[in-house]
């Protein structure tokens, strides 16, 4: 007798005789997920009734108390005129009688008339829902998508299974790259990092994976289960977890370590490849902070590039480093910023959270901190223009960072800038830390000169009647005055360091030092300037200093920035200073050049291998009004040569200032 075929989705084939004499099932079903449709099909005599059974019962099982609100799937049908039929049910769906069909391991058969097929097994597996959570320092929370988890000890992962049998295994998995034989990434796979088992049977079974090693990077995690008894494979959501670490130096660096942005090494089209040297230096230095250390920071402008860069690549990693040491090492972070940073709500909120953790603080100075001009209603009150950071203990020693760059995407990457990290220079650290404390105290003032704040710290301060600023009291004159106010730092061997601050009360630690008797240029030594600008009376003094240096026999080279528009303002050398420089150095490119986005404030002298660096510009504000730091290093040929190499890079990428510069400055 001719046979018909009865099939089930997923691979089940069932045969039934056209005359209903024999019915056979030729294969079994496997891994039917609960809630999925299951379809039976085959052939039978035209018009004959085909009935599906679970065990010995028809489907659905009749019930006198059945609710008519729950529609039942059709479990019987008539063969078509062509002798074909099909029955579809939903696995593990509850009928009106409250019972399930295709539930677990069940035997199924079909009948045509009085003839039925042999029993075969259909396996319906119950899905298991899984939630992933973490515990840090005793606090248990769900893992959110893109959550940042610090890479440290004490993190445990756990999961809750919606149902489980005692001994069920669960697997914590991480998506990892797959590579071919040459090491090239070809895709990803789920790799098991920890296994755990349920301790009992029932709903909402918790499995704990204990402490889990979490390497740095952005990873996807999930928890999965495997087929056990009636229960199917289950998966949690797959949140992308950003595991944050803090990479630092393998051992403590020695002496002074400079870094340079060097944007001229790449073309405009290659901006994404530009050096991240300043960023990397800051991150590694901050990450070197010891547990319980104190970090102080003063900065004119901080701009988190996560607001407009995806992924953020310059400022955001620096802020993450601050966040990391504050959160994991209990580092006390105190920062005082110019009010321009305070206008950026997202960045400000993050900085405040960092500073609030361990008794630190977030402070803003409107205009300059060490000035009463703004509090007194005077115009041109200067700025908190600092780029200064101190750490009380990093790899066992104090650290000071003095830079020419703000923490912004453009300045750290696209402008010419530099930074010097002084390791274990106790004197420079002490003075710089004390200055930061003074600035913080000043930021807390509510009126001009209140509270006696200005007399605390390493320097005794007096108010300048001329400028209404707080400056060091003069104790000497000439070179001796400069030396006393710089307060010599330390150094190895003959190398020496000194640091001074603005506002200043009458001496100039750069120009007065160069004009003094210490620099004779009797061997034709060179003095090199790489600066943003020179303006006003300080610009005039700069020109006079160059004139005197030339008279001593020095060769003087100046490379400065072309004007940089910023809103309605233009930053650049004014016309009077530019004309004076041209008079002294000539109009060719032999001794005077201009370049794009030169934000350094570095002055070098061959004599004594001297370097001056810091945030200060050669203008009245940088000398008399704003908060600034000037670092001087001398008798250090190694450091000098590194700064000289950077100066040469800037010089080579610069060209004639031309008439365009002078025309620009007529607008000022």
Q: For residue range 536-554, what is the model confidence (pLDDT) as tens digits?
A: 999 999 999 999 999 999 9
Residue 458 near residue 519 (C-beta atoms within 8 A): no
Dihedrals φ, ψ of 130, to 5°?
-135, 130
Query: For residue 405, how far is the Cα from the chain centroid?
Result: 18
Q: Are strands 496-502 and 120-125 parallel, antiparallel or unpaired?
A: unpaired
Query: Quick one: tokens of 636?
Result: 């250090």
What per-residue confidence (pLDDT) applies to 227? Answer: 58
The tokens describing 301, both together, are: 């402008």
pLDDT surpasses 50 at 482: no
The full DSSP string for 374-407 is: TTTT-S----B--EEEEEEEETTEEEEEEES--B
For 200-311, strand residue ranges (E) read: 202-211, 217-225, 240-244, 256-260, 294-299
Instruction: Report the pLDDT averaged over residues 601-615.
Output: 95
Q: Is the pLDDT of residue 143 over 80?
A: no
In terms of pLDDT, which residue wins out, 450 or 639?
639
pLDDT at 477: 44
Greater pLDDT, 235 or 301: 301
- Once rounded to an integer, what is the mean pLDDT over residues 127-135? 63
d(CA 551, CA 414): 37
CA–CA distance, 337 with 350 (Å, rounded to integer) = 13
- Check for a shared fold between 130-244 and 256-665: no
434 has a pLDDT exceeding 70: yes
For the chain, domain boundaries? 3-125, 130-244, 256-665
Would the pLDDT of 599 be above 80?
yes
Q: Taking a C-beta distance cutoff of 8 angstroms, is the pair 525, 607 a contact? A: yes
Q: How far apart are the first and last CA of the chain?
A: 106
> Residues 322-345: what's their mean pLDDT?
85
- Residue 179 pLDDT grade (very low, low, confident, very high; cuts 50, 70, 90): confident
Confidence band of 284 (pLDDT split at 50, 70, 90): very high
CA atoms 457, 459, 463, 468: torsion sign:
negative
CA distances from 190 to 14, 108, 128, 157, 239 (A): 37, 36, 19, 17, 13
Whether the per-residue pLDDT at 140 is higher than 70: the answer is no
Burial class (CB in 10 A: 0-12, 13-18, 19+), 73: middle
| pLDDT category of residue 85 using cuts at 50, 70 and 90 | confident
Residue 349's pLDDT band (cuts 50, 70, 90): confident
How far apart (Å, rounded) are the C-alpha atoms in residues 11 and 39? 10
Band of pLDDT at residue 632, cut at 50, 70 and 90: very high
Pairing of the two strands 294-299 and 387-394: antiparallel
Closest CA relative to residue 42, chosen from 86, 77, 6: 6
CB 92 within 8 A of CB 100: yes
Beta carbons of 293 and 395 less than 8 angstroms apart: no
CB count in 10 Å sphere of residue 120? 18
CA 369 centroid distance within chain: 29
Bridge partners, 499 (sequence order) = 631
* Residue 212 tokens, joined: 């889990």
| Partners of 160 in the β-ladder | 131, 206
Higher local confidence (pLDDT), 37 or 228: 37
For position 573, what pLDDT does the model report? 93
Percent over 90 (pLDDT), the chain:
34
Tokens found for residue 626: 């704003």
Predicted local distance difference test score (pLDDT) of residue 2: 32
Q: Pull the structure tokens for residue 354.
A: 């960092």
Answer yes or no: pTM beyond 0.75. no
Distances (CA, A) of 493 to 36, 209, 607, 635, 637: 80, 55, 17, 9, 12
Phi and psi at 428, nearest 5°, equal -65, -40
**Collapsing DSSP states into helix, strand and coil, what is residue 339?**
helix
CA contacts within 13 A on the Cβ side of 393: 9
Query: Do 35 and 90 touch, CB atoms closer than 8 A?
Result: yes
Please check the confidence at residue 668 and state whether its pLDDT lies above 50: no
pLDDT on residue 19 = 40
Q: How many residues does the chain have?
A: 668
**pLDDT for 574:** 92
The mean pLDDT value for 606-633 works out to 94
Which pLDDT value is given to residue 660? 53
Query: Furthest-apart CA pair in the chain: how many Å?
Result: 123
At 177, list the tokens. 């790259």
Rounded Cα distance between 354 and 322, Å, is: 7
Model pLDDT, residue 261: 93
Residue with tokens 């679970």: 54
Q: For the domain 3-125, what is the CATH superfamily, name and number? A: Immunoglobulins (2.60.40.10)
Whether residue 414 has pLDDT greater than 80: yes
- By CB atoms closer than 10 A (0-12, 13-18, 19+), residue 471 is buried
List, in sequence order, every residue forming a beta bridge with 566; answer none if it has no partner.
Answer: 569
Average pLDDT over residues 290-296: 97
In the predicted model, is pLDDT for residue 634 greater than 70? yes
Asked if residue 4 has pLDDT above 50, the reply is no
130-244 is classed in which CATH architecture?
Sandwich (2.60)
Q: Identify the residue with better confidence: 486 or 84.
A: 84
CATH for the 256-665 domain, from 3.40.190.10, 3.30.870.10, 3.30.413.10, 3.40.1190.20: 3.30.870.10
Q: Which one-letter DSSP state was computed for residue 562?
A: P
pLDDT band at 582 (very low <50, low <70, confident <90, very high): very high
Q: Is the pLDDT of residue 663 over 70?
A: no
**Count of beta carbons in the 10 Å neighbourhood of residue 230:** 16
pLDDT of 151 reads: 54
The residue to which tokens 């190694």 are assigned: 638
Q: For residue 595, what are the contacts with CB-CB under 8 A and spacing of at least 6? A: 264, 416, 559, 560, 561, 562, 650, 653, 654, 655
Mean predicted lDDT score pLDDT of the chain: 78
Cα(546)–Cα(581) distance, integer angstroms: 8
Beta bridge partners of 468: none
């Amino acid at each position: 007798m001719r046979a018909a075929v009865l099939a089930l989705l997923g691979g089940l084939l069932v045969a039934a005789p056209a005359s209903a004499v024999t019915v056979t099932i030729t294969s079994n079903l496997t891994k039917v997920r609960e809630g999925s449709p299951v379809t039976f099909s085959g052939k039978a005599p035209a018009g004959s009734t085909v009935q599906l059974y679970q065990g010995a019962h028809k489907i659905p099982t009749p019930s006198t108390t059945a609710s008519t609100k729950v529609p039942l799937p059709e479990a019987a049908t008539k063969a078509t005129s062509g002798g074909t039929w099909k029955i579809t049910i939903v696995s593990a769906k509850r009928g009106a009688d409250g019972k399930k069909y295709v539930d677990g391991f069940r035997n199924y058969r079909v009948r045509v008339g009085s003839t039925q097929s042999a029993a075969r097994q259909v396996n319906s597996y119950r899905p298991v829902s899984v939630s992933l959570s973490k515990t840090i320092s005793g606090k248990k929370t769900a893992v959110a998508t893109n959550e940042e988890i610090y890479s440290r000890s004490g993190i445990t992962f756990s999961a809750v299974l919606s149902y489980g049998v005692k001994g069920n295994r669960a697997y914590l998995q991480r998506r990892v790259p797959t590579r071919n034989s040459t090491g090239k990434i070809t895709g990803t796979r789920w790799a098991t990092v920890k296994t755990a088992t349920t301790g009992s049977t029932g709903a909402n079974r918790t499995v704990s994976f204990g402490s889990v090693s979490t390497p740095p990077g952005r990873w996807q995690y999930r928890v999965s289960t495997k087929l056990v008894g009636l229960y199917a494979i289950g998966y949690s959501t797959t949140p992308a977890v950003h595991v944050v670490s803090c990479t630092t130096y393998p051992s403590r660096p020695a002496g002074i370590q400079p870094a340079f942005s060097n944007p001229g090494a790449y073309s405009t089209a290659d901006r994404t490849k530009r050096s991240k040297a300043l960023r990397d230096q800051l991150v590694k230095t901050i990450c070197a902070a010891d547990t319980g250390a104190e970090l102080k920071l003063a900065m004119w402008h901080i701009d988190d590039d996560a607001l407009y860069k995806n992924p953020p690549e310059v400022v955001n990693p620096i802020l993450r480093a601050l966040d990391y040491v504050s959160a994991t090492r209990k580092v006390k972070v105190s920062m005082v910023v110019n009010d321009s940073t305070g206008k950026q709500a997202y960045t400000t909120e993050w900085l405040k959270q960092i500073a609030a953790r361990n008794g630190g603080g977030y402070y803003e100075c409107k205009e300059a901190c060490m000035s009463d001009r703004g509090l007194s209603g005077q115009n041109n009150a200067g700025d908190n223009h600092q780029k200064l950071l101190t750490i009380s203990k990093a790899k066992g020693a104090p650290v000071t960072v003095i830079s020419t760059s703000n923490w912004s995407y453009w300045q750290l990457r696209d402008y010419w800038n530099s930074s010097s990290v002084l390791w274990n220079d106790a004197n420079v650290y002490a003075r710089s830390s004390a200055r930061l404390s003074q600035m913080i105290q000043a930021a807390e003032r509510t009126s001009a000169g209140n509270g006696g704040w200005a007399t605390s710290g390493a320097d005794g301060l007096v108010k300048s009647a001329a400028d209404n600023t707080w400056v060091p009291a003069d104790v000497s004159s000439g070179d001796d005055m400069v030396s006393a106010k710089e307060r010599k730092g330390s150094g190895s061997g003959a190398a020496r360091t000194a640091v001074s601050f603005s506002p200043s009360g009458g001496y100039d630690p750069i120009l007065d030092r160069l004009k003094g008797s210490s620099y004779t240029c009797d061997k034709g030594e060179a003095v090199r300037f790489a600066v943003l600008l020179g303006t006003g009376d300080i610009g005039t003094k700069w020109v006079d200093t160059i004139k005197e240096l030339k008279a001593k026999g020095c060769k003087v080279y100046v490379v400065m920035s072309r004007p940089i528009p910023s809103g309605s303002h233009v930053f650049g050398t004014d016309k009077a200073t530019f004309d004076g420089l041209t008079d002294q150095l000539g109009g060719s490119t032999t001794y005077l050049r201009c370049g794009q986005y030169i934000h350094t404030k570095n002055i070098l002298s061959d004599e004594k291998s001297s370097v001056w660096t810091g945030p200060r510009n050669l203008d009245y504000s940088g000398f008399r009004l704003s908060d600034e730091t000037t670092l001087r290093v001398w008798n250090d040929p190694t450091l000098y040569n590194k700064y000289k190499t950077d100066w040469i890079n800037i010089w080579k990428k610069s060209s004639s200032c031309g008439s365009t510069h002078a025309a620009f400055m007529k607008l000022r």
